[in-house]
Amino acid sequence: MLVPWGVWSIQNPDRGEDIGDARLVTGGTYRIREDGSVRVDATLRNGSGVSETESWSGSITRLEEAELSIRFDDGDVEAFEVHDGSGLRRSMTTRLTREDGFLMTRTGPVTDEPEAAHSDIPPVFFNTMPKSGSIFISRWLSKGLGLREMKVAVCLFPDDLIIRDDMDRLSKGGWVCQQHVPAKDINVRFIANRLKRMVVHIRDPRQAMLSWVHHLDNFHAHRDSVPACRLGLEAVMPALPVDYFDRTLPAKIDYQIDAHLSALVDWTQGWLTAADAGQHGLEILITTFERFRQDPEETMREILAHCGIPEAKFDWSARPDQVANTHFRKGETDEWRSVFSDAQQHRATAMLPPVLRQRFNWPD
């Protein structure tokens, strides 16, 4: 069996070919430790020829005679096969990068390094309603601050649970974390015992639900070619009806008003109650998608200030592309009004408590 521990250097596979909307890993290193932890510092080229660097961290999930699998903190998975007895070739990835396998050769042992880059920067815990522009904002935060992203929960909406060991790691600083965890008392206690502040980001649940419908359709369309889409469908709670993707759009909306909209409303009310009460001493900043659409820079300033991060440390030019790798679709605030039937509009709006609509100026 090939022993994987050490620093592995990526052999550049770039031949200048057209890669369309994908990205191609062109260099970097994989640092694989004996405890199974993995850190990647990679250089990637997009279809326009622009290169950028990214860092990922994760751990080995399977080590066999001729195969190595890694699950990263952001949920992505990669697999490698032994090549010519001493190298590793990437055979699969769920990232939005070219599937063409690159080769890696071992260049030395792993040397001691800090657990997180810029650990002097306070942690950013950005907890969001699903389909609220959260990936775009979290990527802007991580790129603008030069920080890596990590996860601290099981990642099962709406019944997610904080993992305490990962929360301990986040609390040391130097990370951006984006999750969808609910305001269960156990979650709030786990967070409050480690952090002073967090951000909760919400959106009009009716629009978020419509975006969720399209998000699931996209997962279904790519379930056979993109493993992350298949895994995403597997994690939907409650499980979708067996005939769900055979239904018309109006029928899917009818189903999701009951199954998903109600969960979004409960999730939102839970966090507003926790924020207003200062539950367990936790200081919670509430931001909204609608406000971000009106003035994205001001929302980013509010987040930085709340987390105790000087604006001078933030690179505003690091704003990501709003489509590539951010789950961004249309970004509209009231598309639901032109898509829902009159009956669906009435039913969905009736599920939003008036105090919630008034607080955030969501239309009747």
The DSSP line for 233-291 is HHT-SSPPPTTGGGS-HHHHHHHHIIIIIHHHHHHHHHHHHHHHHTGGG-EEEEEEHHH
What pLDDT band is residue 327 in, cutting at 50, 70 and 90?
Answer: very low
**Pairing mode of beta strands 51-63, 67-72:** antiparallel
pLDDT at 269 over 50: yes
What pLDDT band is residue 98 in, cutting at 50, 70 and 90?
Answer: low
Measured CA angle at 52 (ends 167, 201), to 5 deg: 40
- pTM of the full structure: 0.70
Closest CA to 175 of 123, 218, 223: 123
Q: How far apart are the first and last CA of the chain?
A: 64
CA–CA distance, 145 with 173 (Å, rounded to integer): 12
Supply the pLDDT for residue 325.
42
What pLDDT band is residue 97 in, cutting at 50, 70 and 90?
Answer: low
Cβ contact 363:323 at 8 Å: no
pLDDT at 111 over 80: no
| pLDDT, the chain, mean | 88
Find the mean pLDDT for residues 240-253.
Answer: 97
Closest CA to 297 of 275, 315, 283: 315
Alpha helices in the chain (DSSP H): 134-145, 164-171, 185-192, 205-221, 227-234, 249-256, 262-277, 289-294, 296-306, 336-339, 342-350, 354-360
Q: Taking the CA atoms of the chain, what radius of gyration do you get in angstroms?
A: 21
What pLDDT band is residue 116 in, cutting at 50, 70 and 90?
Answer: low
What sign results for the dihedral spanned by CA atoms 234, 240, 244, 249? Answer: negative
What pLDDT band is residue 328 in, cutting at 50, 70 and 90?
Answer: very low
Edge-to-edge strands, sheet with 175-179: 148-150, 175-179, 124-128, 197-202, 283-288
Which tokens hold the place of 328? 């961004």
CA–CA distance, 182 with 187 (Å, rounded to integer): 7
Q: List Cβ neighbours of 19 (8 Å cut-off, separation of 6 or more).
A: 45, 46, 47, 98
Domains of the chain: 6-104 (2.40.128), 124-360 (3.40.50.300)
How is residue 153 annotated by DSSP? B
Enumerate the β-bridge partners of residue 81. Answer: 67, 89
Report the range of poorest mean pLDDT among 92-101, 111-120, 231-240. 111-120
Cβ contact 155:181 at 8 Å: no
Which tokens hold the place of 164? 């305490």
Lookup result for tokens 């709406």: 158
Supply the pLDDT for residue 162.
93
Closest CA to 39 of 148, 132, 128: 148
Supply the pLDDT for residue 349.
97
